[in-house]
Amino acid sequence: MNRFFVFFHRSLDIDISHCWTVECKNSKYIKTECTLHTIDTDVYDNITECVPGVKFNCVYIKVERDYTKPTFIPGPLTCVSLIKKQLGIRDFFVFTPKQLYKKLLKIGGKDICNGVYF
């Protein structure tokens, strides 16, 4: 079972505008973030190092990923599509970070920060 923290950046306290994951593996935290030009992956010892000084929501979710089922859905590589691939979510109608946030809560994720500023 893989443990993920999915962070959702809130722009101007209005709406969710970006998302990235932090996976817990062997007492390390692996941050994966997709931007317009790159996919960044960094490894940290402490989860607080993965969090910028912005207001965000954080959904904690455990997933049992079935690697025998492909999760590829044609389209551009975005922060949402990368997270859907990581978590094995095959919902074609999840495009925006806000839709992904709602989907993760629906499938058992827990919002553990609820708009906290770090």
Contacts of 91 (CB under 8 A, 6+ apart): 84, 103
Taking the whole predicted model, whether its pTM rises above 0.95 is answered as: no
Confidence of residue 13 (pLDDT cuts 50, 70, 90): low
Q: Residue 32: is it exposed, middle or buried by C-beta count within 10 angstroms (0-12/13-18/19+)?
A: middle
Per the structure, the count of domains in the chain is 1
In whole numbers, what is the pLDDT of the chain averaged over residues? 82
Task: Check residue 72 and give its pLDDT.
Answer: 65
CB neighbours of residue 54 within 10 Å: 12
Task: Check residue 73 and give its pLDDT.
Answer: 63
Task: Check residue 99 and give its pLDDT.
Answer: 92
pLDDT digits (tens, 9 = 90+) for 53-78: 666 778 888 887 666 776 666 677 88
Owning domain of residue 33: 2-117
Say how far apart CA 118 and CA 110 lie, in whole Å: 18
